[in-house]
Amino acid sequence: MPSDGKGIVMISKEDNMKYKSSHSVLLDCGREEAWGKLKDLSLAPRYVPGVASMVFLTGRKEGIGAKRRVFPQKLDEEAIGWEEGREIVLALSKSGKAGFFPFKKARFRYLLTGGKPASMELSMEYDPMLGKTGHLLFGGIIDSRIRKTALALREFYNKK
């Protein structure tokens, strides 16, 4: 789905998610270097605000089926989409349950585009438990977190 690079938009019903918050950042490195960092799922605590640590829950550390738990949130993230050099999609759950407050379902997407410099779009697609009311209550908070994560990722990736 096309994105304006930031903010919250409604997404199509075929995606089974009602809302999407996304932010894009320009990186000082090329796509290949950025992918090298992105595919290392253990690096999340270095660029996701509020994530202090993580553990892998599966033997897979890359590709479809790789699964990690981040702390202190105890949020599980499983790779359900993996396009080498371009994109990772993580399904979010708590204790194996897709629905956790304030979400019925949620997934997080990292999308790399461009060459040098590379661009990275971070997005969360979600269906809130309280429907449109849930979106009105929590959409701004979710969007703010995606923006902060995108800016922290850019800072981490641009460190030399």
The string of pLDDT tens digits covering residues 58-78 is 999 999 999 999 999 999 999
Question: Facing residues of 117 across strands?
Answer: none
What is the token pair recorded at 64?
């479809």
Q: For residues 39 and 86, is the Cβ–Cβ distance under 8 A?
A: no
Residue 102: predicted pLDDT: 80
**pTM, full prediction:** 0.85
Question: Facing residues of 90 across strands?
Answer: 79, 108
3-state secondary structure of 137: helix
Q: For residues 111 and 87, is the Cβ–Cβ distance under 8 A?
A: yes
Q: State which amino acid sits at residue 92.
A: L
Q: What CATH homologous superfamily does 6-158 map to?
A: START domain (3.30.530.20)
What is the token pair recorded at 97?
């349950």
One digit per residue, pLDDT tens: the chain, 160 residues? 333 344 443 443 445 778 889 999 999 999 999 999 999 999 999 999 999 999 999 999 999 999 999 999 999 999 999 999 999 999 999 977 777 788 888 899 999 999 889 999 999 998 888 778 877 877 888 888 999 999 999 999 998 6
Peptide bond into 49 cis (omega under 30): no
